[in-house]
Amino acid sequence: MSTLTFAQEIQEGIPTHIPLEKPWDLHVNHAPKRKDILSKEEKKLAIANALRYFPKDQHVELAKDFAEELKTFGRIYMYRYRPTHAIFARPISEYPGKSTQAKAIMLMIQNNLDHAVAQHPHELITYGGNGAVFQNWVQYRLTMKYLSEMNDEQTLVMYSGHPMGLFPSHKNAPRVVVTNGMMIPNYSKPDDWEKFNALGVTQYGQMTAGSYMYIGPQGIVHGTTITVLNAVRRMAKNRDDIKGKLFLTAGLGGMSGAQPKAGNIAGVISVTAEVNPKAAKTRHEQGWVDEMITDLDELVFRVKKAQSSKEVVSIAYLGNVVDVWEKFDESGVHVDLGSDQTSLHNPWAGGYYPAGLSFDEANDLMSNDPEKFKTYVQESLRRHAASVNKHTEKGTYFFDYGNAFLLESSRAGGDVMAENHIDFKYPSYIQDILGPMCFDYGFGPFRWVCASGNPEDLAKTDAIACRVLEEMMLNSPVEIQQQMADNIQWIKGAQENKMVVGSQARILYADAEGRMRIAEAFNQAIAKGEIGVVILGRDHHDVSGTDSPYRETSNIYDGSRFTADMAIQNVIGDSFRGATWVSIHNGGGVGWGEVINGGFGMLLDGSADADRNLKMMLHWDVNNGIARRNWARNENAIFAIKRAMEIEPNLKVTLPNLVDDQLLNGLF
């Protein structure tokens, strides 16, 4: 047992002596064994790569240990280097170091690995099954050491979890620049990522995992509430009409666990299927889902009762979602709203559990016979799609929740393609809901963390944000009044909903003006000593940060949704406008190779520099995406960018001229 204090252990970095092996902790949710993908030669390379962190006299012992890990888990996590200190977002004052900005980043890294927050904390996975902060524990140790040593004239460079080192820069440069999973495009295929990850040279950073901006499931509750609420609004004329509507979906994991809570806030009955008993239990114990049912007949009985008495209730079904879709069809249970949040961005390594196999059987097959497992997944997806189709024929509104359900179902041969054989039968939640209603206007998942760790600071920031939005609402155009009202309602209920898990964080959908005005008001409150320093950020799943043809940019119809200029421009632009750290990832949400996404973090310390940076950077961070959405001829974005140009005379954006369809039809 180490006798070092927290600060000393951070400053120590990689210990000089090899630590004792750590016992396997059964209480922790561990990542499934990864596919054995490396050849014998490649395995040697993986071990050599891992040993680069250690002096030669330790290689014999460590080589054996790492080879064993590679064999048992398919990856080298360097478990024995897990620190002895508890990992969670401590008050910023407890982090050792010379740079407050670097301390803010340490706090955010620790939050992403907190046992209460992270999905597989010992494998350094924050969410989504494979969203990694680091590839191994030595990278964690080395990064924390660098952060504790650096000053404000240095920048730490992070290559997919590996800290390449500190480089001289300047005060207004980012303190950390993160890249994750960036590949040469011709080597960016599923087996390539598995292989290069197993070699220890790249990692899947998801969106906010490898960028240190995950704030627990709260982030997703807000977005999910907005989505479910607006999806329900499409079917129901008023609040009363919403009562008794049934929402069927799957997944009680990192993000998907927010669905039952969102269902309750939106006022519907929700059934969420989950195959992993540990995940379901966690959400039940947290109070995020009201009831747990393990038997399908009992589920049908309970749902019919809830429908007839128009209850608002959330039910977890412990089992496979395909069975629920099929059972509801046979039993005549009408589903009003349907979706799916299994981790289909990661279909072959535990993201999707096929029907017909128990949870344990699936886990065994996945690692022992990956090819056979793949055929089970594909068969299950075909059944899944067929059953959803039966329901939609009876009136269910089904939408893809950005988890690549339609994409993978189509690849598996499921009946999900539209008649034109190009589009899917069903819209993505971005095409119908978040894209036109939020992103095109600049509304997206702005967030902040009170670095003092004091809940009172969070309550004060909530009150400040609410005041700013209410002031803005008085003069906001009718086009965005509904958004403003939803966001005010959210922030008013935020304290009551008790959604803080981990750091003292808050999420709030806001547009460019809202984000700037709220941040400015925080900075003033910090300057006056009313609150401690605040870290700003956002989900990558936003207006400008992400190019993802089947998700964030799925409502871009000019052909450019398969390009990634916007995300790259965004992170470059943020980095020279004052971001404290920036990140750019290949993959996130829908899977490696399917998306390029970027984000930022920014420390507000009450200074004039912070005031200048926040205005410059947040303005760009939102308006970049609105400009692009406007150029794609999205009506609401054209409105929003014209409005932004009226407010800021230095903004001059190219506007599109619209073409008459009849002219085009006459050409060919």
Residues engaged in binding ligand NAD (CB under 6 A)? 119, 127-129, 220, 223-224, 250-256, 273-276, 279, 320-321, 341-345, 351-353, 401-403, 589
Which of 502, 484, 526 has its CA nearest to residue 254? 502
Least distance (Å) between residue 184 CB and ligand NAD: 24
Burial group, residue 232, by CB count within 10 angstroms (0-12, 13-18, 19+): buried
Q: What residues pair up with 376 in beta bridges, in sequence order?
A: none
| DSSP percent split of the chain into helix, strand, coil, nearest 5 | 45, 15, 40
Nearer to ligand NAD, 265 or 525 (CB): 265
Task: Give phi and psi for 459, each to the nearest 5.
Answer: -60, -40
Least distance (Å) between residue 316 CB and ligand NAD: 10
At which residue do the structure tokens 């290689």 appear?
59
Residue number closest to ligand NAD, CB atom = 253
Least distance (Å) between residue 392 CB and ligand NAD: 19
Nearer to ligand NAD, 403 or 624 (CB): 403
Least distance (Å) between residue 465 CB and ligand NAD: 21
CA 314 to chain centre: 23
Rounded Cα distance, 100 and 533, in Å: 9
Nearer to ligand NAD, 239 or 278 (CB): 278
Least distance (Å) between residue 492 CB and ligand NAD: 22
Least distance (Å) between residue 399 CB and ligand NAD: 11
Rounded Cα distance, 142 and 121, in Å: 18
Least distance (Å) between residue 607 CB and ligand NAD: 34
Nearer to ligand NAD, 223 or 444 (CB): 223
Rounded Cα distance, 615 and 101, in Å: 18
The string of DSSP codes covering 504-563 is SEEEEEE-HHHHHHHHHHHHHHHHTTSS--EEEEE-SSSTTTEE-TTTTTTT--SSGGG-
Nearer to ligand NAD, 342 or 624 (CB): 342
Burial group, residue 570, by CB count within 10 angstroms (0-12, 13-18, 19+): buried
Which of 93, 97, 137 has its CA nearest to residue 8? 97
Nearer to ligand NAD, 377 or 484 (CB): 377
Which of 554, 560, 545 has its CA nearest to residue 622? 545
Nearer to ligand NAD, 200 or 217 (CB): 217
Largest CA distance in the chain: 80
Rg (CA), the chain: 24
Nearer to ligand NAD, 252 or 622 (CB): 252
Residue 236, CA distances (Å) to 189, 244, 268 in order? 43, 11, 11
Least distance (Å) between residue 257 CB and ligand NAD: 6
∠ CA 155-156-162, rounded to 5°: 160
At which residue do the structure tokens 């995940």 appear?
279
Least distance (Å) between residue 289 CB and ligand NAD: 12
Nearer to ligand NAD, 43 or 561 (CB): 561
Rounded Cα distance, 280 and 283, in Å: 5
Residue 373 neighbours by CB under 8 Å, 6+ apart:
348, 354, 362, 365, 366
Least distance (Å) between residue 337 CB and ligand NAD: 15
Least distance (Å) between residue 504 CB and ligand NAD: 22
Measured from the Cβ of residue 372, the count of other Cβ atoms closer than 10 Å reads: 10
Nearer to ligand NAD, 254 or 442 (CB): 254
Nearer to ligand NAD, 65 or 340 (CB): 340
Nearer to ligand NAD, 324 or 472 (CB): 324
Is 586 in contact with 564 (CB distance < 8 Å)? no
User: At residue 223, what is the residue type?
Assistant: G
Least distance (Å) between residue 540 CB and ligand NAD: 10
The single-letter DSSP state of residue 84 is S
Nearer to ligand NAD, 281 or 304 (CB): 281
Q: What residues pair up with 273 in beta bridges, in sequence order?
A: 250, 317
Least distance (Å) between residue 317 CB and ligand NAD: 8
